[in-house]
Structure 1
Amino acid sequence: MSDQRLVDLLGRSGPWTCAYADGPGVLPQVEEEALRRSVRERLAQAGAPPEDAEAIESALESRNGLPSPSARVVLARTGVVELDEGFIGARIGPERMAHGPVPSILPLLRHLSATTRYLVVETSRDGADIRLETSGHGRSDDHTEIEGDTVDITKVQAGGMAHAKYHRYAENVWKHNQDDVASAVSALIREQHPAFVAIAGDVRARQLLGEALTDTERALVVEVDAHTRADGADSAELDAALADAIRERMSAAIGEVRDRAAVDSGSGGAEGIADVVAALQQARVETLLLDARMLDDERTLLALDGPPWLAADESERLGTTVLATVSVAEALARAAVLTDARVLIEEEETVADDAPRDDRPVREPVAALRWADDADASDQA
């Protein structure tokens, strides 16, 4: 979903009913119905009005085209579903059912934080399939098929001068086809700004495509040594490469926030609840980083109906109305979205199923700022 759509949603008055649950599964119909009834009953226990609980139950009944497992975030208000987002893969954390003056957006942000937009190019000597993907969506945002020249595309063993002639001709056909592929890839890079470009397919076609791209474009390339465009090809290698690339870029984004927050003795960032709250109140936060464990933190802040959007106590509300007392993580995330900041959530490292959970403390929130502390001083000088 777009950032502006979420901002618009947060600007609407409550109360809100929120459900974070599993998407449609493969269980028998009677068991799936029982799970949906359970969601409705738990929403009622959380204080949701019947019309909201019924609207969410009805939304969960409709299949959204995602394979199982999937996760679903549904927000309702006055009996109307205002948001219904599905994501491929299992839930990230426990189910959550809530009702209150402000919507619970952390389950949604947790999934959005992990999404990455990228290009997949499956190429061969006669063309390519190009897909613009967003991780977790289960569908292509855009699909382009390049059908190149296939006349005399295969090198032949003619012998002598004829062999060299046919060899050069086939190479020229391949190169022309990959030039067309490169033009389409370049246009998508300029327009869509993907995090990376995964290129799979025939070895020679990948080489020619790489040569046709600029240095800047090649820096985005993740090459996959698999001919996935061939009939009956297995996509396992490509899928694994995509998963690795997504994890690497998420890790790099988190590292960048921490690095920026620490530069110049920390003047470019804020760390800790008090400092991050102050930065959000001034709309200085560019990217907010939250530890996933903070989602269970029992500390609270005040959610306000206008700027500065959050407060530690009544003295900081600056003429606004307190909508609710909410968890620290919800308050910080809400204020970040409303001030056009990016929200990243640092998930736990994957461990074996039987391994004990690391008993570490919750990491304090960190923010990379739009301008440093010393900028204020220089402006006033």
Structure 2
Amino acid sequence: MIDEAELSSILASDGMWTFAYLDHHGDEPQPAQHSRRHALVDELRKCGAPEPDVQAVDDAVASDAGIPSPSVIYLLVRNGAAEVVERFVGRRLGPEQVGYGRIPPVLPLLRHRADDIRYVVVEAGREGAHLRVELAGRTGAQEAAEVEGRTDSLPKVQAGGWSHKRYQTHSEEIWKQTQSEVADALEGIVQEQRPSFVVVAGDVRARQLLEDALPAGVKAITIDVDAHTKADGADAGALDDAIVRAIDERLGKAVTDARDRAAAAGGRNGAHGVREVVAALQEAQVDTLVLDARELGTDETLEALDAEPWVAVGEDDRAAARSLGRVQAAEALARAALFSGATVLVAEDQEPPAGEPMPDSPVPEPFAALRWPRENGVAGSV
């Protein structure tokens, strides 16, 4: 996975791009996969994509066999080489997009990357624990570790009397020692990886002992899940649900924090509406750009530029940059935010309760939390 600085460097270079943002269908029957790939190749050729690019896209999609569904792939290809290949677990955010042009869409990629929240999963048992670092929306663990405790503990079901009590005490002490080792390993991972949260599942007594052994800083970001995932045949549904809720809460908090920062100092720390946000982006003043998912389909357009300030409302504010054409406003804002090192967040639609229609409310305007406050209500002034 390339970082935002490398991505912006790639996108800022002049030239034409073949792009695709598609659902994965790696678990479909082979005939269906072949049919879908043929349709993709035909569509790319109709868009004018050169044959080496078409082949590179087809190869990337063909290599997705076996990837879980739902999941998506984002591709940027030039001169027959796939320069950006990103795969995300989960549903597609917005329509599929396939094309060839100077301004590839960046919002699908940035929208998924906003979900790239790092977290740690601990599946604890009395004999030890499995720890893994994961990145939301990505397949596979980023890092994994196993802590194995002593194996000379005895189960608590023993003969009665003093012997039984001695065996219980012996086992309990070993379990405590094991979970203390797990806590030490977890503390090291948290210090190194800086996750947003830790989810602990597994044996109930092991979880209790682990929580008792955790330092305050780790305990503050830990979520306990009542799911015995270490048991044979255990259902991980409760664990998965807890992870999804934690991710959604943190994304919502990031948007709320940006809104609060934009409202600070009587609103001088923010820019609201397309024109104010454009002005702030032109001064590289934007720290966090927030778009609403419903904005992504509006008809409003802006000029996408080939150099700083990267975006303009019209010819009057292009500076010395050359226009690459007009694109949908949210795309143009996100592109300029990427080039200026700003964070891009998208407030996703909240699903209404089952059986209820989506509320018909006005589409919120884009806003930005700024790196420094505006003076006299004018973005770009210091």
The answer to whether 1:82 aligns with 2:74 is no
The answer to whether 1:106 aligns with 2:136 is no
Partner of 1:198: 199
The answer to whether 1:370 aligns with 2:371 is yes
Deviation at 1:343, TM superposition (A): 0.9
- Contact between 2:351 and 2:358, CA under 8 Å: does it hold in 1? no
Per-residue CA deviations over 1:95-135 (Å, capped at 9, x if unaligned) read 11222212211111121122321100000111100011112
Q: How many residues align?
A: 379
Partner of 1:67: 68
Output the CA distance in 2 between the equivalents of 1:101 and 1:247.
34
Moved more, 367-376 or 87-96: 367-376
Per-residue CA deviations over 1:338-369 (Å, capped at 9, x if unaligned) read 11111111111124787544433322111112
Shift of the 375–340 alpha-carbon distance from structure 1 to 2, 3 Å rule, reads farther
Counterpart residue identity of residue 330, structure 1: E
Counterpart residue identity of residue 12, structure 1: S
Shift of the 190–125 alpha-carbon distance from structure 1 to 2, 3 Å rule, reads same
Output the CA distance in 1 between the equivalents of 2:201 and 2:212.
15
Q: State the secondary structure of the residue aligned to 1:278.
A: helix
Q: State the secondary structure of the residue aligned to 2:151.
A: coil
Partner of 1:303: 304
Deviation at 1:9, TM superposition (A): 2.0
Partner of 2:293: 292
Deviation at 1:282, TM superposition (A): 1.7
Per-residue CA deviations over 1:27-76 (Å, capped at 9, x if unaligned) read 33222112112222222333333332332122211126521222111111
- Contact between 2:45 and 2:54, CA under 8 Å: does it hold in 1? yes
Partner of 1:350: 351
Partner of 2:95: 94
- Contact between 1:98 and 1:104, CA under 8 Å: does it hold in 2? no
The answer to whether 1:264 aligns with 2:265 is yes
Partner of 1:331: 332
Output the CA distance in 2 between the equivalents of 1:19 and 1:304.
22
- Contact between 1:121 and 1:198, CA under 8 Å: does it hold in 2? yes
Shift of the 205–33 alpha-carbon distance from structure 1 to 2, 3 Å rule, reads same
Q: State the secondary structure of the residue aligned to 1:372.
A: coil
- Contact between 2:26 and 2:64, CA under 8 Å: does it hold in 1? no
The answer to whether 1:17 aligns with 2:25 is no
Partner of 1:210: 211
Q: State the secondary structure of the residue aligned to 1:94.
A: coil
Counterpart residue identity of residue 178, structure 2: N
Q: State the secondary structure of the residue aligned to 2:142.
A: strand
Counterpart residue identity of residue 304, structure 1: L
Counterpart residue identity of residue 70, structure 1: S
- Contact between 2:76 and 2:85, CA under 8 Å: does it hold in 1? yes
Output the CA distance in 2 between the equivalents of 1:194 and 1:200.
17
Shift of the 308–84 alpha-carbon distance from structure 1 to 2, 3 Å rule, reads same
Deviation at 1:4, TM superposition (A): 2.6
Output the CA distance in 1 between the equivalents of 2:10 and 2:360.
36
Counterpart residue identity of residue 219, structure 1: A
Counterpart residue identity of residue 17, structure 1: T
Output the CA distance in 2 between the equivalents of 1:24 and 1:65.
8
Counterpart residue identity of residue 60, structure 1: V
Partner of 1:129: 130
Counting aligned pairs with the same residue, the percent is 45
Partner of 1:54: 55
Give the structure-1-normalised TM-score.
Answer: 0.92
Moved more, 239-248 or 121-130: 239-248
- Contact between 2:24 and 2:73, CA under 8 Å: does it hold in 1? yes
Counterpart residue identity of residue 63, structure 2: S
Counterpart residue identity of residue 32, structure 1: Q
Deviation at 1:162, TM superposition (A): 4.6
Output the CA distance in 2 between the equivalents of 1:309 and 1:64.
38
Counterpart residue identity of residue 116, structure 2: T
- Contact between 2:27 and 2:65, CA under 8 Å: does it hold in 1? no
Deviation at 1:228, TM superposition (A): 0.7
- Contact between 1:16 and 1:76, CA under 8 Å: does it hold in 2? yes
Output the CA distance in 2 between the equivalents of 1:94 and 1:223.
36
- Contact between 2:26 and 2:67, CA under 8 Å: does it hold in 1? no
Output the CA distance in 1 between the equivalents of 2:193 and 2:339.
24
Q: State the secondary structure of the residue aligned to 2:264.
A: helix
What is the Cα-based RMSD across aligned positions, in Å? 2.4
Output the CA distance in 2 between the equivalents of 1:59 and 1:273.
36
- Contact between 1:70 and 1:90, CA under 8 Å: does it hold in 2? yes
Counterpart residue identity of residue 252, structure 2: S
Q: State the secondary structure of the residue aligned to 1:24.
A: coil
Output the CA distance in 1 between the equivalents of 2:272 and 2:371.
14
Partner of 1:173: 174
Output the CA distance in 2 between the equivalents of 1:117 and 1:149.
31
Moved more, 68-77 or 138-147: 68-77
Give the structure-2-normalised TM-score.
Answer: 0.92
